[in-house]
Chain A
Amino acid sequence: MVKLRYAATAAILGFAVAAGPVLAKKDRSHQAVDLDPDQRGVVSGVGIEGQDLGRMADQMVRDLMANPEISDRATPPRIILDSSDLRNQSSQRIDKDIITDELRGKLMNAARGKMRFVSREFIAAVERERALKREGVVDTGTTGLTRATAGADYKLVGKITSLDSRNNDTGMQERLTVISLEMLDLEYGTLVWNGTYKIRRAGADDVVYR
């Protein structure tokens, strides 16, 4: 009986010694960490996530740059690229600016002067400054005065749509999200470019949450 006790104690001690480093190595902290915005995050669902934005913008920029009607004109076209005509018809709440801001940033870098981007979001600031210049309160700056602010040739428009499905037996949820963007000719009303980005994602909660 005594031998058995010694053996049990030794086994427990042995396990503790062996498991100690493993347990010590296990990271128990949940402090803030830096994550790659182009990689999947630690919290995820079936909707559009951070990593999708970068990939989508990369694909759309490649597509747009390959379109000669937009990227290969003698005079760089003027484009409005904001979220004012991007409709969210999906089942995901989203700040649409995050999509257009990402796209505009990457497109500006890639275009290298082959496209000009017109801001309408901050036109009030432009108008204020123009008024100050014309009233002589401030000088004309380094580029001089123009008769009017820039008119645009194209505008980015589009839709975000989604299709949700669920298997109630397995608890599996699935969502197909389609981001469809188009470049609208603001004079003729024709569409000169269309790009579609699809995300299909599925997942299920643990059984206790279903």
Chain B
Amino acid sequence: MTLLNRLAAGVAAFSLVALPIAVQAQDAAVDPAAAKAAAKARAKQVAAWKAQYGPGPYPDEVEAFAQTREEKLREYYRVLYYDGEHNAVLNYERLGLLAMELGYYADAEKAFDGALDRIEAFYGKDKQAEKATSATRLEVNKDFKGEPYERAMAYYYRGLLYLRKGDYDNARASFKAAEYQDTVSADESFQSDFALLTYLQGWASHCAGDGSQAADAFEQAAKIDAKLKVPGPNDNLLVLTEIGHGPVKATDGQYQEKLVFKAGPALPENGAIVTLGTGKTTRAWPLVPAADLYTQASTRGGRAIDGILNGKAQFKAGLETTSTVVTTVGSTFAQQMGGNALYAQGIGAAISMFSKSVRPSADVRMWDSLPSGILVGTTRWGAAPAAAPAAKGKGKGKAAARPSALRPQDWSMPPVSMAYRRDSDMLDLAGVKPMSASAGKCGIVWARSRSVATLPAAAPGNNDKVALARKKDKDVWAKDEAFRAKLR
């Protein structure tokens, strides 16, 4: 049973016992004996929690915080609150995506801001970072900041939320920052190869009315991925849908010292068709594949910490070899010399025990709710205003008058539905209800083939022992308490 499961059980138990205690406390106003009994019961409960959760936070505190949040997000908020800074970026990212899917956009914005503020801040050499490099400590000791593809996706979602509100400047800033995360790739050919992010910068510029910037970005995106065609000059609706499950982190190597990425579980959908409007105005078209998250995750190249983990692994291998040599060769030599072989075996066992304490395993905490692919499309929606008349006498032979751009008041978002398919076969897969909004000149539709609501509230890859051990460090505890105070 993981720590978080136990916490959830604790919350449930707390709910069951809270009422009788409250009743007792109410009665205690007139009965000192009952007040004493209630205080004693409370002290007993706190002592039990202290044994289970260390210094806390305890289920009553977690629950008091969670009750102030939307019911469908509470489980995620509980995890965020309990984990503190250690997994704050990861928990914020997962919470943000769930909130976005469920339509709690204010929660989603705050969550992604929480993650991005930490991604943007420089994490210096603190105790936890030192622990992550220590031979006898796991990498998972460090606060989670995520791999570049995860950081880029946090910016991507924040950018979509800005588009939803019609804040095109900050949307463009988010997509730019997302693309910047992709420049970390060791291999130059994979730097800035996340074409969708460049394309979305272009879209944000297009909506902001920055034509030349938009053209530059669209041209750049098409150079990276020829499938990404330049939107029509008067397109005002962006459609994005996400399919499948994203890349999975795993470990490889003799001592799990290598972080590797595997494609997410195979799912049937590999395409989508969006349908806008109803009746005569209905328009449907297939969306274009624009991003493959597994490619983004797996082409980053080596991490700086890989060298440290590799060093730990070599150290561990060296100790194991030494232990074997001391035990077998040393024993034989001692016996031949007429000595006691137990000494050599004892030394060998001690070295073997020490080698077991060396921990080179890579950190596999991951943002598991990401998709495997993103599809995109744009269109112009809304009745076209009258085209500007061509100049008199010079109209013939010149370019025809182009329809003018739509103003926000000229149109409204149509009903949207998404159908998923495998190649040309339609699938019986409804996906999640699309986010559909227009706050400025442009509108946005965002959908997913798979809901993130089915995932557990706690992210995979966490280490309960490390999490509990962190709480015993006063500095870390104070940092986590400050984090929780800000959340409340």
Contact = CB atoms under 8 A, between A and B. Distances in A.
B479 A30 contact: yes
Contacts of B173: 88, 90-94
A209 B180 CA distance: 16
A149 to B, nearest CB: 23
A106 interface: no
B271 to A, nearest CB: 32
A147 interface: no
A30 B305 CA distance: 28
B120 interface: yes
A88 B481 contact: no
Given A28-B478, A210-B305, A166 B184 contact: yes
Interface string B121-154: 1111110010011000001001001000000000
B451 interface: no
B138 to A, nearest CB: 11
Contact of A208 (B129, B162, B185, B479): B129
A29 interface: yes
Interface in A171-201: 171
Nearest to B119: A45
Contact of A30 (B122, B169, B184, B481): B481
Contact of A168 (B122, B172, B186, B308): B186
Contacts, number: 93
B308 A207 contact: yes
A208 B142 contact: yes
A29 B132 CA distance: 23
Interface in A32-62: 32, 43-47
A31 interface: yes
Contacts of A29: 478
> How many residues of A sit at the interface, in one of the four size bands?
20 to 34
Contacts of B304: 171, 207-208, 210
A171 B304 CA distance: 9
A92 B177 contact: yes
A22 to B, nearest CB: 15
A166 B142 CA distance: 23
Contacts of B121: 43-45
Contacts of A166: 180, 183-184
B485 A205 contact: no
A38 to B, nearest CB: 20
B70 interface: no
Given A28-B475, A44-B121, A210 B303 contact: yes
A96 interface: yes
A90 B124 CA distance: 25
B120 A96 contact: no
B177 A208 contact: no
Contacts of A209: 123, 129, 142, 145
B133 A45 contact: no
Given A29-B478, A89-B213, A93-B174, A206 B123 contact: yes
Interface string B296-308: 0000000111001
B478 A30 contact: yes
A205 B123 contact: yes
Contact of A93 (B142, B145, B177, B482): B177
B40 to A, nearest CB: 31
A87 interface: yes
B484 to A, nearest CB: 11
B170 interface: yes
A152 interface: no
B4 to A, nearest CB: 24
B488 interface: no
A89 B169 contact: yes
B183 A206 contact: no
A93 B208 contact: no
Interface of B: 116-117, 120-126, 129, 132-133, 139, 142, 145, 158, 162, 169-170, 172-174, 176-177, 180, 183-186, 208, 210, 213, 303-305, 308, 474-475, 478-479, 481-482, 485
Given A89-B172, A93-B174, A208-B142, 5 more contacts: A30-B478, A43-B121, A93-B170, A207-B133, A210-B305
Going nearest first, the 4 A-B pairs with the smallest beta carbon separation are: A91-B176, A88-B169, A30-B482, A210-B304
9 contacts: A29-B478, A30-B482, A45-B122, A89-B210, A91-B173, A93-B170, A93-B173, A168-B183, A207-B133
